[in-house]
């Protein structure tokens, strides 16, 4: 998907980062004092999500860059720290929660790099083990053609010893990572799915093989690697296909290369259903056996989730018995029946993941 319009917040018009990004993009930039008219224009289009993916708004992050993952009390959270550097994504996955999360959906990049640097400095001074990621509200590597954000972040994290940066992506935009002095403080992470799901539900993303080839390259450059099977989609024949993906991983990287692998099945806010039905009329993803979860999201019937999870965990343990495998937002019953333990009894999921990061990424305790 190509950018068609570029807008600049008048408050950051003269910011050096604004000028750099505008020059890289090469589109005429329109300066605006108030984005309300822009929001209205997007909302009035026949497909606001698609329109929002074609427009980039350069502005300032007024709410702070670092924030804890919201999670819920009902499901086990990993105590992740979100680094909110941008919003939305130009790739187009049918299941993407961002379609209904942002109002309106709009590509936004935050140029106030000086504030980002200050927040990171304060964060690092705490001297605590921490896991930080930029892939919650956007894809971590879609900004590579236009900014040097990744190089800056890799450099900042490499200069300290207590925190890791996770860059999560469905792209293969890795060329600028080569040769960086990362000191194993940056984890390159890919969302994985079956070729069927990628082909039908993940438009404008890299193929499974391309993602794994990129992971192998990054490992050759010394980066720790991680993978996320989220969202896993339940359909006829899915078990055989997910098993093949698990096997493929270890054709490209070794178990010792991997910091963690997460599992999570498709879940969605009820408001997303109408958006998927309209934008992806051939998709069957919203018509599975769903019930309302404790967080008011639609989730697969629990026995279906547990059955698929048990198989995934068995396959992963068979090939990589020492790799940390965890669930994204599941309850104690799922953990107990699938993993054989409950994270809260082991000091919490955050502690488990901190220990994995400390071991593989060589953090200072």
The pLDDT tens digits for 151-189 are 999 999 999 999 999 999 999 999 999 999 999 999 999
167, 168, 172, 176 alpha-carbon torsion, rounded to 10°: -10
Residues of the chain below pLDDT 70: 1
Distance CA 168, CA 189 (A): 5
Instruction: Give Cα 212 distance to the centre of its chain.
Output: 16
Q: What ranges in 192-348 are assigned the alpha helix state H?
A: 195-201, 208-220, 238-252, 270-279, 302-319, 332-339
For 104-163, the pLDDT digits (tens) are 899 999 999 999 999 999 999 999 999 999 999 999 999 999 999 999 999 999 999 999
Check residue 1 and give its pLDDT: 63
> Quick one: residue 276, left, alpha or beta (phi over 0 = left, psi -120 to 50 = alpha)?
alpha
Distance CA 339, CA 232 (A): 17
Q: Are 282 and 220 in contact (CB under 8 A)?
A: no
Contact partners, residue 283, CB within 8 Å, separation at least 6? 94, 200, 201, 276
Considering the entire predicted model, what is its pTM? 0.96
Check residue 256 and give its pLDDT: 96
60-360 topology per CATH: pyruvate-formate lyase- activating enzyme (3.80.30)
Reduce the DSSP state of residue 82 to 3 states and report it: strand
CA distances from 262 to 162, 192, 244 (A): 22, 10, 17
């Amino acid at each position: 998907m190509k950018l068609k319009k570029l807008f600049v917040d008048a408050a950051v018009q003269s910011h050096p980062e604004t000028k750099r990004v505008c020059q890289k993009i090469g589109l005429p930039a329109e300066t605006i004092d108030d984005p309300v008219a822009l929001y209205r224009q997007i909302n009035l289009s026949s497909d606001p999500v698609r329109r929002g993916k074609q427009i980039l708004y350069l502005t300032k992050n007024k709410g702070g860059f670092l924030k804890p993952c919201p999670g819920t009390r009902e499901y086990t959270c990993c105590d992740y720290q979100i680094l909110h550097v941008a919003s939305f994504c130009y790739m187009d996955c049918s299941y993407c929660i961002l379609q209904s999360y942002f109002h309106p959906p709009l590509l936004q990049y935050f140029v106030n790099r000086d504030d980002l640097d200050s927040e990171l400095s304060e964060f690092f001074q705490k001297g605590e083990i921490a896991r930080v990621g930029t892939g919650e509200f956007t894809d971590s590597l879609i900004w590579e053609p236009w900014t040097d954000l990744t190089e800056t972040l890799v450099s900042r994290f490499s200069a300290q010893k207590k925190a890791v940066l996770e860059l999560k992506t469905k792209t293969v935009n890795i060329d600028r990572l080569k040769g960086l002095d990362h000191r194993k403080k940056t984890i390159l992470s890919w969302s994985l799915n079956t070729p069927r799901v990628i082909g039908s539900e993940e438009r404008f993303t890299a193929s499974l093989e391309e993602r794994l080839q990129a992971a192998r390259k990054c490992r050759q450059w010394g980066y720790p690697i991680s993978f996320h099977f989220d969202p896993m989609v339940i359909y006829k024949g899915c078990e055989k296909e997910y098993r093949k993906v698990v096997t493929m991983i270890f054709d490209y990287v070794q178990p010792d290369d991997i910091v963690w692998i997460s599992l999570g099945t498709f879940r969605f806010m009820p408001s997303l259903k109408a958006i998927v039905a309209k934008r992806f009329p051939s998709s069957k993803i919203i018509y599975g056996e769903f019930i309302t979860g404790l967080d008011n999201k639609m989730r697969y019937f629990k026995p279906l989730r547990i059955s698929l999870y048990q198989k995934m965990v068995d396959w992963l343990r068979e090939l990589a018995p020492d790799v940390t495998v965890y669930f994204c937002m599941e309850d104690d019953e799922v953990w107990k029946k699938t993993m054989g333990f409950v994270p809260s009894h082991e000091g919490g999921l955050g502690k488990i993941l901190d220990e994995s990061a400390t071991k593989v990424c060589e953090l200072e305790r």
